[in-house]
Amino acid sequence: MQEAGDDTGDDTLHPWSRYVAIGDSFTEGIGDPEPNSPGGNRGWADRVAEVLAAGNERFRYANLAVRGKLIQQIMDEQIEPAVQLRPDLITISAGGNDVLRPGSDPDEIAAKFQTAIERLAADRATIVVFTGVDVGFSPVFRGIRGKVAIYNENIRSVASQFDCIVADQWALTDIQDQRMWAPDRLHLNAIGHHTVARMVLEALDVPNTLEPMRPEPYPERSRRDVRSDDLQWAREYLVPWVVRRVRHQSSGDAITAKRPIAGPLVQPAELRED
């Protein structure tokens, strides 16, 4: 496996030239809208790729992630296409949607995750895996905190077995703040995705100029305002989510990967040198 800082024979600050991102809405970039990005969302993976591509004309990036996908769907639909793209860097975040489902078993989910990693590791690419967020801060999700913790320990075990890099969201306390999250309370917003991108680049030991971004202070709100916000959230996001579960539908139905081919990136203005 390549490690950050290996000699690549050029003046880039990292050894990778082909990056493939695998996963669900987290990796697709939902919550970080950007009209100029493929699919209309940017997200942490695009932000990481933009930094890795800076100054490296040979760098190529694909993002196969699709919102709503369960781990078996990711295994069936993304693993082999990712391998065929011959990446030397892979990020994979999978299983989060499974963990959210009532009655799901984190050990069974992790067993599937291990099978996916075993296939990806066969070609000796650098692999980055993710722990889940410590959801104790969230009234909506704190009830599954223990399940997330069990899944995380499985992820760490798989990472150790296959020499993966762990991007530790559980320890990323900055995102344990509702201001880092989109109005649906399920996906990170632009600041949250930026924060995760900085964490991933740190895990990869890649120098970068991304500065911390802080959300605006909370406005003063009464209990009545908070209750009104909760009811609006339930109408706009919770009820549709429950309806999709009952109908066995997914937010990713009819959605295709936003970057299915490993191609060059157009650098955002903040990373351009001219």
pLDDT for the residue numbered 94: 98
Decide if pLDDT at 227 tops 70.
yes
Domain segments of the chain as ranges:
18-214+223-268
Q: What is the pLDDT of residues 75-122, one digit of tens each?
A: 999 999 999 999 999 999 999 999 999 999 999 999 999 999 999 999
Phi, psi of 227 (to 5 degrees): -60, -40
**What average pLDDT does the chain have?**
90
Give the Cα separation of 94 and 75 in Å (integer): 9
Q: How far is CA 105 from the centre of its chain?
A: 21
What is the pTM (predicted TM-score) of this model?
Answer: 0.89
Residues whose CB falls within 8 Å of the CB of residue 50, separated by 6 or more in sequence, listed in order: 265, 267, 268, 271
Superfamily of the domain at 18-214+223-268: SGNH hydrolase (3.40.50.1110)
Q: Which of 123-127, 140-144, 213-217, 254-258 has the lowest mean pLDDT?
A: 213-217
| pLDDT band per the 50, 70, 90 thresholds, residue 1 | very low
Residues 6+ apart with CB under 8 A from 126: 1, 2, 3, 15, 16, 88, 89, 90, 165, 204
Cα separation of 48 and 19, whole Å? 10
Mean pLDDT of 170-189: 95
CA distance 205 to 16: 12
